[in-house]
A and B are shown apart, each in its own frame.
Chain A
Amino acid sequence: MENRPLEYDYTVAKMFMLTTVLLGIVGMLVGVILAWEMAFPAVNTIAGSGLAEYTNFSRLRPLHTDAVIFGFTLSGIWATWYYVGQRVLKVSMAESKFLMFLGKLHFALYLLVVVAVVGSLLMGITTSKEYAEFEWPIDIAVVLVWVIWGMSIFGLIGIRREKSLYISIWYYIATFLGIAMLYLFNNMEIPTYFASGGIGSWYHSVSMYSGTNDALVQWWYGHNAVAFGFTVPIVAMIYYFLPKESGQAVYSYKLSLLAFWGLMFVYLWAGGHHLLFSTVPDWMQTMGSVFSVVLILPSWGSAINMLLTMKGEWQQVASSPLIKFMILASTFYMFSTLEGPIQAIKSVNALAHFTDWIVGHVHDGVLGWVAFMIMAALFHMAPRVFKREIYSKSLMNTQFWIQTLGVVLYFTSMWIAGITQGMMWRAHDEFGNLAYSFIDTVAVLHPYFTIRAVGGTLYLVGMFLFAFNMYKTMTSSRRVEESELQNASPMGA
């Protein structure tokens, strides 16, 4: 034992890589089913009318969002944490039996929660709050998983060799703290079974907040769950993987630090933009609007930093599909962080709110930025974790173009659908009557729903290619030497 040189231990990272791929496919498959249901309602009873309760749009919709957020994305965050964390702190998990145990416990509990969530959502056990649908027993388990992750972060930091924390670690810490605070406050609920002395179902609970307050807390959570789940940890990834893969240090480390504090300060204020023209106080709505626009600065700070990191090395974008994924991801990041603030402007929001444009915005962010970055991270990790080269470069390129086409079809069709419907809702004829009945504004969307479903399906096809490529990399690719793993990842034809 003593003679073997110390190595990074990726056991836990591998486990989370597996769930990233699996839950990614599950979440996106459910999404594609939903998309086809909206275009062709007959799909709702695809498994027969006896099972319609479980294949129906409304029952599957929370499963789609939660599988993508808490399945795919969260697994991706943890897979990269258990990889990047060790490397930039220069300490191996093999050095601490305790941290190793925590990591495995983390994964095991997480799997339990995933099973409980899938089961309960299919049965219709939900609190109805978006991205916080889980009833109290699952909430407690989630908190436990989160605490274990926190112990793992600070445990690893505690035994580090590198004194300074690399910028990615900053972002991981912020993810941990942000979600912890938001999740706790939004899920304050009282189990009715205990409060009423043992009547009714044991898992049911009632929210601590009512009406407008509940909405305020929910969207403070909802918006910032996006911030600390879909932005902060993904920025953590790109700050590590893009420099490492390209062999170029971050263009400006100082800018990355500044963008960090800017983001931390501004992001939380922006949640109010989900509630414009609702019954929350006016000054809060205005502040939500203003801060959403200010938010462009720190977001673009990071994104531009990434693009400038490639300065003088743009030939790599052409030659490496892995770099392509990351550059497209940061481009989509810039794009959706510009689109978001535009939608938060009050007059635009009056039109866009409640329409498919919002759905489009979410998806260009998640498909274009989050998922592309997570897949790139996994592609970069695979050769180092499995000690084999990436199975096929051409397959990666194919996947890249199929998925890019999918995203483009998705957001363009949703833009048109959203703006069309928003305009039709507010149209009046010359006598001041509403020009269209509601169903008119639904019927007109059919072609766009169909295009969106095609776009989503293309993206899912790409996910299958990704899974296949990863599987082949893991099992049958050429073995590589340590020396090939310095920067650009080795890829087979």
Chain B
Amino acid sequence: MDISTFQAYAYFFFTAFMVVVLYAYIYHLYSSQWKGKRDYEKYGDIALHDEITDQPIEHVSQNDDKK
């Protein structure tokens, strides 16, 4: 297999793979919201409540253990 054939295959499969991943990501974003696992929209508040005295939307590490 010469290099240009390889390029063409690599290109095709990677593009197909990326499209699948992208759609899976869309599904993931919405399904976590339906299932109530995680509402992604809450992260938009990170910009709004960004004083150093504000509570983080999600704490690093500690909170994970408590859940």
Whole-angstrom distance between the alpha carbons of A43 and B46 in the complex? 51
- Are B56 and A258 neighbours in the complex by a CB distance under 8 Å? no
Which residues 233-268 of A sit at the B interface, judged by CB distance below 8 A?
239-240, 243-244, 247, 249-250, 252-254, 257-258, 261-262, 265
Instruction: Tell me which residues across on chain B come within 8 A of A5, comparing CB atoms.
Output: 53
Whether A163 contacts B60 by the Cβ 8 Å rule is yes
Number of residues on chain B facing chain A (CB within 8 A): 27
Residues on B with beta carbons closer than 8 Å to the beta carbon of A244: 47-48, 50
Give chain A residues whose Cβ lies under 8 Å from the Cβ of B41: 249, 252-254
Query: Chain A residues near B64 (CB, 8 Å)?
Result: 163
Interface flag for A307 (CB, 8 Å): no
Closest to A253 in B: B44
Do B22 and A88 have beta carbons less than 8 Å apart?
Answer: no
The answer on a CB contact under 8 Å between B59 and A163 is: yes
Chain B residues, Cβ within 8 Å of A257:
25, 29, 40
Does B26 touch A at the CB level, under 8 Å? yes
- Partner of B56 from the list A161, A239, A265 (CB cut-off 8 Å) is A161
Q: Which of B17-60 contact A (CB under 8 A)?
A: 18, 22, 25-26, 29-30, 40-48, 50, 52-54, 56-60
Residues of A within 8 A of B45 (CB): 249
A250 and B45 CA atoms in complex are apart in Å by: 8
Q: Are A243 and B29 in contact (CB-based, < 8 A)?
A: no
CB-CB under 8 A for A163 and B30, given A240-B47, A252-B41: no
A265 to B63, CA, bound (A): 33
Q: Given A243-B48, A249-B47, A250-B47, verify A164-B57 contact (CB < 8 Å).
A: yes
Which of B40, B61, B63 is close to A253, meaning CB atoms less than 8 Å apart?
Answer: B40
Is B47 in contact with A258, judged by CB distance below 8 angstroms? no
> What is the distance, in angstroms, from B56's C-beta to the closest C-beta of chain A?
4
For the complex, is A7 an interface residue (Cβ under 8 Å from B)? Answer: yes
A421 CA to B53 CA, complexed, in Å: 59
Please name the residue on chain B nearest to A247 by beta carbon: B48
Nearest residue (CB) in A for B61 is: A163
Are B43 and A164 in touch, CB under 8 angstroms? yes
B30: chain A residues within 8 A (beta carbon): 254
CA distance A167 to B59 in the complex (A): 17
Which residue of the partner chain A has the closest CB to B58? A163
Answer whether residue A404 sits at the interface, using C-beta atoms and an 8 A cutoff. no
A162 and B48 contact, CB distance less than 8 A: no
What does the 1/0 interface line of A261-305 toward B look like (CB < 8 Å)? 110010000000000000000000000000000000000000000
A residues less than 8 Å from B44 (CB atoms): 243, 249-250, 253
Q: Which residues of B contact A253 (CB under 8 A)?
A: 40-44
- Contact partner of A261 (CB less than 8 A), chosen from B22, B42, B53, B56, is B22
In the docked arrangement, what's the CA distance between A240 and B43, Å?
12
A327 to B60 Cα, complex, angstroms:
34
Q: What 7 A-B pairs are tightest by C-beta distance, nearest first?
A: A249-B44, A163-B58, A87-B50, A166-B46, A162-B56, A250-B44, A253-B44
B→A interface (CB under 8 Å): 18, 22, 25-26, 29-30, 40-48, 50, 52-54, 56-61, 63-64
Give 9 A-B contacts (CB < 8 Å), ordered by A residue: A5-B53, A161-B56, A161-B60, A162-B60, A163-B63, A247-B48, A249-B48, A250-B47, A253-B44
New A-B contacts (11) at CB < 8 Å, excluding given A166-B43, A254-B41: A5-B53, A7-B52, A88-B46, A162-B56, A162-B60, A163-B57, A249-B41, A249-B44, A252-B41, A258-B25, A265-B22
